[in-house]
Amino acid sequence: MAAAGGGPLESVEYAYEFDHDVKVVTDTGNTLVHAAVTFTLAQSTQQEVCRVVQFLADKGAPLDEKDARDRTPIEIADRLPIDKAVDLLTELIVKSGATPKSRTKR
């Protein structure tokens, strides 16, 4: 969780070598993708956030779960705003055959 929220991608890849559980959920309902869009931008660019999100998606992390505050990663990224992450998450969810649970401000 700390690696996903702290970027860069190399840190996430390194942590993944030790723990392959990309479906982990905290007691507040946060997923690794929530962490990536919530905390990474303070230290990284939108492009790096997207690299982390893409890596997590490729490993099977849930992309559209709601946290304890009823917020999805797309909704958080939209509020911050991390436009590229909103676009990427939307694209990945739609490619999976689903419709994003949250509407964006766009």
Q: How do residues 39-83 score in pLDDT, each as one tens digit?
A: 765 677 899 999 999 999 999 999 999 999 999 999 999 998 899
- The Cα 96–Cα 36 span in angstroms is 20
Give the chain's length. 106
State the CB neighbour count (10 A cutoff) for residue 42.
Answer: 9
**60 Cα distance to chain centroid:** 12
pLDDT attached to residue 96 = 94
103 part of a folded domain: no
**Structural domains of the chain, count:** 1
Residue 20 pLDDT > 80: yes
Does any domain span residue 105? no
Q: What is the CATH number of the domain that holds 52?
A: 1.25.40.20
Output the CA torsion 13→18→21→24 (10° steps). -90
Q: Is residue 102 part of a domain?
A: no
Range of the structural domain that residue 7 is part of: 2-95
For the beta carbon of residue 104, count every other beta carbon within 10 angstroms.
16
For the whole model, what pTM was predicted?
0.93
